[in-house]
A and B are shown apart, each in its own frame.
Chain A
Amino acid sequence: MTAITPPLTWSCRTSSSVTGVSSSKRRPSWVYDHGTEPDPRFTLANERTFLAWIRTSLALLAGAAAVHAFDLDVSDTVAAWSGGLLAVGGLLCALQAWFGWARNERALREERPLPSSGVGAVLAAAVAVVALILLVIGSR
């Protein structure tokens, strides 16, 4: 964090005396009950990462819908399996979006290193499997 310390005018870490917060409780509490408010830029960046995962989820979902819509030259079973697998991938992405966001936010608040997850690898494998199925079976 020290490498990207903002200039003095941007010392953004706010104490409760200047926040003027009269607000409701922030959820989820397992994130916001820990640590202190991070630089807002990091919070915003975390939110964009969340949105990127959500869009990935939607892209997989669009793929799943396309398998059915485009009337590929494969059997119904194959189409259902590929569509189902892509939909599961989309679900996985959506879950990673949320839990990744929450874990990152908590790590930022506690000034810990950001956590990692294996979802990316699982996702790559799933997409590769679907592509192989469609390539091999679809080209016969």
Chain B
Amino acid sequence: MSGRIDEGGPRRSWTRIVWRRLPGDGQRPISRPDPGLQQERTRLAWRRSMLAFAVVGLAVVRAAYVESVHVAVVLALIGLGIAMWLSLTTLRRGRWTWPSQREPEFLEVLRDGTLPLLVTAMAAVLCLAVLANALRLLS
């Protein structure tokens, strides 16, 4: 059954999108492994960036909690929502862009700027929250 493309179709759900079988799964690689392990390096870079986000985000939310509970709750909810969305999307991206070290195959979900834009927006929100606090202290 390996190598069969699941057509998706009307039964599309998140679990199916993330975990479904891909062409090339379970087959031996036909080309050399990537000497630079680019895919893995990128995945790890995402992971440590998101860890840094978690740490700094928690620190900012904690600091905001002292000043205003409402602001802290809003920040935390934004962060949680985006984190859930990110974890689902990165699973799909990690799997689909360069499956099993074979020739690169671009499948349905192509890497694009949506995720970077979202991450940037999240960083900008945190920066603005800290900036607003600094301005409040000045006035």
A interface residues, Cβ below 8 angstroms from B: 7, 9-10, 12, 14, 18-23, 26-28, 31-32, 37, 40-41, 43-45, 47-48, 50-52, 54-55, 57-59, 61-62, 64-65, 68-69, 76-77, 79-81, 83-84, 86-88, 90-91, 93-95, 97-98, 101-102, 105
- The reply to whether A61 and B60 contact each other, CB–CB distance below 8 Å, is yes
Q: Which single member of B63, B103, B119, B134 contacts A54 (CB below 8 Å)?
A: B119
- Known contacts A27-B114, A58-B56, A83-B134, A12 near B104 by CB under 8 Å: yes
**Pairwise interchain contact A61-B130, C-beta atoms closer than 8 A:** yes
Complex alpha-carbon distance, A106 and B19, angstroms: 31
Which residues from chain B contact A45 at a C-beta distance below 8 Å?
Answer: 38
B42 pairs with A98, CB closer than 8 A: no
- Minimum CB–CB distance for B64 against chain A, Å: 10
Q: How far is the CB of A107 from chain B (nearest CB, A)?
A: 14
B87 within 8 A of A: no
Residues of A within 8 A of B106 (CB): 14, 19-21, 37
Min C-beta distance of B53 to chain A, whole Å = 6
> Does the CB pair B52–A58 fall under 8 Å?
yes
Residue in B36, B60, B116, B126 whose CB lies within 8 Å of A101:
B116
Name the A residues within 8 Å of B120 (CB-CB): 54, 94-95, 97-98
In chain A, what residue has the closest Cβ to B64?
A65
Listed in ascending order, the chain B residues whose CB lies under 8 Å from chain A are: 31-32, 34, 36, 38-39, 41-42, 45-46, 48-49, 52-53, 55-56, 59-60, 63, 97-98, 103-114, 116-117, 119-120, 123-124, 126-128, 130-131, 133-135, 137-138
CB-based closest 6 A-B pairs: A84-B134, A26-B112, A80-B137, A94-B123, A98-B120, A87-B131
- Whether A102 contacts B53 in the complex (CB less than 8 A), given A12-B104, A44-B39, comes out as no
Task: State whether A65 and B56 are in contact (beta carbons under 8 Å apart), knowing that A19-B106, A48-B45, A94-B120 are contacts in the complex.
Answer: yes
Cα–Cα, bound, A96→B46 (Å): 17
- The answer to whether A79 and B137 touch across the interface, beta carbons within 8 angstroms, is yes
State whether A65 and B130 are in contact (beta carbons under 8 Å apart), knowing that A21-B108, A50-B116, A97-B120 are contacts in the complex.
yes
Query: What is the chain B residue whose CB lies nearest that of A64?
Result: B130
